[in-house]
Amino acid sequence: MSGNLIVIIKALDYFFEVITWLILVRVILSLLRMENMSNPISRFVIVTTEPLLEPFRRLQFRSSIGRNLMIDFSPVFAILVIQYIMRPLVFELVLWLMRL
Protein backbone atom coordinates (compact mmCIF):
# COMPACT_ATOMS: atom_id res chain seq x y z
CA MET A 1 0.00 0.00 0.00
CA SER A 2 2.80 2.45 0.80
CA GLY A 3 4.42 1.84 -2.60
CA ASN A 4 1.22 2.98 -4.33
CA LEU A 5 1.08 6.03 -2.12
CA ILE A 6 4.61 7.04 -3.06
CA VAL A 7 3.83 6.63 -6.78
CA ILE A 8 0.67 8.74 -6.49
CA ILE A 9 2.40 11.49 -4.53
CA LYS A 10 5.35 11.56 -6.96
CA ALA A 11 2.98 11.73 -9.94
CA LEU A 12 1.06 14.61 -8.39
CA ASP A 13 4.31 16.37 -7.52
CA TYR A 14 5.49 16.08 -11.12
CA PHE A 15 2.10 17.27 -12.39
CA PHE A 16 2.18 20.44 -10.28
CA GLU A 17 5.82 21.03 -11.21
CA VAL A 18 5.06 20.76 -14.94
CA ILE A 19 2.09 23.13 -14.63
CA THR A 20 4.24 25.65 -12.78
CA TRP A 21 6.94 25.49 -15.45
CA LEU A 22 4.38 25.85 -18.23
CA ILE A 23 3.07 29.02 -16.57
CA LEU A 24 6.63 30.36 -16.33
CA VAL A 25 7.24 29.54 -20.01
CA ARG A 26 4.04 31.40 -20.86
CA VAL A 27 5.28 34.45 -18.96
CA ILE A 28 8.56 34.35 -20.88
CA LEU A 29 6.74 33.96 -24.20
CA SER A 30 4.57 36.91 -23.29
CA LEU A 31 7.58 39.06 -22.38
CA LEU A 32 9.29 38.16 -25.65
CA ARG A 33 6.05 38.80 -27.55
CA MET A 34 6.13 35.27 -28.96
CA GLU A 35 2.66 34.39 -27.72
CA ASN A 36 1.04 33.44 -31.02
CA MET A 37 -1.10 30.48 -31.99
CA SER A 38 0.81 29.70 -35.20
CA ASN A 39 3.76 28.19 -33.34
CA PRO A 40 2.85 24.68 -32.09
CA ILE A 41 4.88 25.02 -28.88
CA SER A 42 3.34 28.39 -28.04
CA ARG A 43 -0.10 27.04 -28.87
CA PHE A 44 0.41 24.07 -26.52
CA VAL A 45 1.59 26.32 -23.68
CA ILE A 46 -1.30 28.76 -24.16
CA VAL A 47 -3.99 26.08 -24.46
CA THR A 48 -2.64 24.26 -21.41
CA THR A 49 -2.28 27.26 -19.13
CA GLU A 50 -5.24 29.44 -20.16
CA PRO A 51 -7.85 27.49 -18.12
CA LEU A 52 -5.64 27.98 -15.05
CA LEU A 53 -4.92 31.67 -15.61
CA GLU A 54 -8.34 32.89 -16.73
CA PRO A 55 -10.04 32.80 -13.29
CA PHE A 56 -7.17 34.76 -11.75
CA ARG A 57 -7.24 37.25 -14.63
CA ARG A 58 -10.97 37.81 -14.13
CA LEU A 59 -10.46 38.35 -10.40
CA GLN A 60 -7.62 40.77 -11.00
CA PHE A 61 -9.52 42.89 -13.49
CA ARG A 62 -12.68 42.90 -11.35
CA SER A 63 -10.87 44.45 -8.42
CA SER A 64 -10.55 48.21 -8.21
CA ILE A 65 -6.75 47.99 -8.11
CA GLY A 66 -6.29 45.39 -10.84
CA ARG A 67 -8.47 47.23 -13.32
CA ASN A 68 -5.94 50.05 -13.58
CA LEU A 69 -2.81 47.90 -13.82
CA MET A 70 -1.13 47.30 -17.14
CA ILE A 71 0.61 44.15 -15.89
CA ASP A 72 -1.17 40.82 -15.74
CA PHE A 73 -0.43 39.27 -12.35
CA SER A 74 -2.54 36.15 -12.96
CA PRO A 75 0.55 33.91 -13.45
CA VAL A 76 1.89 35.01 -10.07
CA PHE A 77 -1.44 34.33 -8.36
CA ALA A 78 -1.79 30.95 -10.12
CA ILE A 79 1.69 29.81 -9.09
CA LEU A 80 1.14 30.94 -5.50
CA VAL A 81 -2.17 29.07 -5.31
CA ILE A 82 -0.69 25.94 -6.87
CA GLN A 83 2.37 25.90 -4.64
CA TYR A 84 0.87 26.94 -1.32
CA ILE A 85 -2.77 25.84 -1.46
CA MET A 86 -3.45 23.18 -4.10
CA ARG A 87 -0.33 21.09 -3.64
CA PRO A 88 -0.62 20.68 0.15
CA LEU A 89 -4.39 20.10 -0.05
CA VAL A 90 -4.10 17.40 -2.70
CA PHE A 91 -1.27 15.67 -0.85
CA GLU A 92 -3.28 15.69 2.39
CA LEU A 93 -6.31 14.37 0.53
CA VAL A 94 -4.28 11.50 -0.95
CA LEU A 95 -2.87 10.63 2.46
CA TRP A 96 -6.34 10.76 4.01
CA LEU A 97 -7.81 8.56 1.27
CA MET A 98 -5.02 6.03 1.69
CA ARG A 99 -5.77 5.76 5.43
CA LEU A 100 -9.39 4.75 4.75
The more confident residue out of 80 and 12 is 80
Q: Are 78 and 50 in contact (CB under 8 A)?
A: no
Q: Are 75 and 27 in contact (CB under 8 A)?
A: yes
**Residue 36 region by backbone torsions, left for phi larger than 0, else alpha for psi between -120 and 50, else beta:** beta
pLDDT band at 76 (very low <50, low <70, confident <90, very high): very high
Mean pLDDT, the chain, as a whole number?
87
Cα angle 22, 41, 74 (rounded to 5 degrees) comes to 35
Sign of CA dihedral 34, 65, 79, 55: negative
Query: Residues near 42 by Cβ (< 8 Å), separated by ≥ 6?
Result: 29, 34, 35, 36
pTM of the model: 0.83
Reported as a single tens digit per residue, the pLDDT across 17-66 is 999 999 999 999 988 887 777 889 899 999 999 999 999 999 888 877 76
pLDDT > 90? residue 87: no
